[in-house]
Amino acid sequence: MAMRSADRDNPRQKKPPKPLDRARLEELALAYVARFATSAAKLENYLARKLRERGWDGEGEPDIPALVSRYAGLGYVDDASYARAKAGGLLRRGYGPRRVNQALNAAGISQEIREGLRAGAGEQRRAVLALARKRRFGPFAAVPVDRAMREKQIAAMLRAGHSLDNIRELVNALSPEAAEEWAAGPEAGLEEEEWS
């Protein structure tokens, strides 16, 4: 695409951004936490990237970990709250526990917090049901599916992080009502424990 002559002759060229100093780094951090729910690791990565892009013009070396820990102390960054919100959102959108764990790990959430947020059997059933409804899998399909299409649906649900047992239960449901009844059923494992 040819550049217009008005663009070439524009005397106002975009200036490169000023290098960061302590005040500008704090402004960036504050603007980021005000705009986005974030984890400490994500904030640290963001600030490190901005430093690489713009450079440092302040006294001494920038202490990003100290800034992030100060913001965490002030409550601007809370890994546990971020992880609860992120995990809940992913489960409601139909992602399984394995994908939720991967997303939280990528956001720098500690193993201890991730373990505390592990989805229960009921949440896992509701998540696989949400994915099946959204993607029209299993009993929610508009037309009966053949074996090849069924295999593709199973593969997609596995990639979304669901267990094969839950996927099979849902895909083998005879109707949407049966799938919903299964998802609303008692926590998995309770029946086996009661009869053992």
Mean pLDDT of the region 72-76:
95
pLDDT band at 5 (very low <50, low <70, confident <90, very high): low
pLDDT band at 4 (very low <50, low <70, confident <90, very high): low
> Which residues form the domain of 34?
22-77
- Does 61 reside within a domain? yes
Q: How far apart are CA 29 and CA 43, in angstroms?
A: 7
**Global model pTM greater than 0.85:** no
Task: Specify whether 59 is located in the same domain as 101.
Answer: no
Asked if 140 and 133 touch (Cβ cutoff 8 Å), the reply is yes
Residue 56's DSSP bridge partners are 20
Taking each continuous run of H as one helix and of E as one strand, the counts in the chain are: 12, 0
Task: Specify whether 147 is located in the same domain as 54.
Answer: no
User: Considering 77, 112, 146, which residue would you say is the last residue of a domain?
Assistant: 77
User: Considering 62, 77, 92, which residue would you say is the last residue of a domain?
Assistant: 77
Please give the single-letter amino acid code of residue 107.
A
At 100 the pLDDT is: 97
Number of domains present in the structure of the chain: 2
At 43 the pLDDT is: 97
At 155 the pLDDT is: 97
At 188 the pLDDT is: 45
Q: Please write the tens of the pLDDT for every residue from 20-68.
A: 899 999 999 999 999 999 999 999 999 999 999 999 987 888 999 999 9
Planar angle of CA 159, 170, 179, nearest 5 degrees:
140
Task: Specify whether 88 is located in the same domain as 32.
Answer: no
- Per cent of the chain over pLDDT 70 is 89
Task: Specify whether 51 is located in the same domain as 148.
Answer: no
Asked if 114 and 101 touch (Cβ cutoff 8 Å), the reply is yes
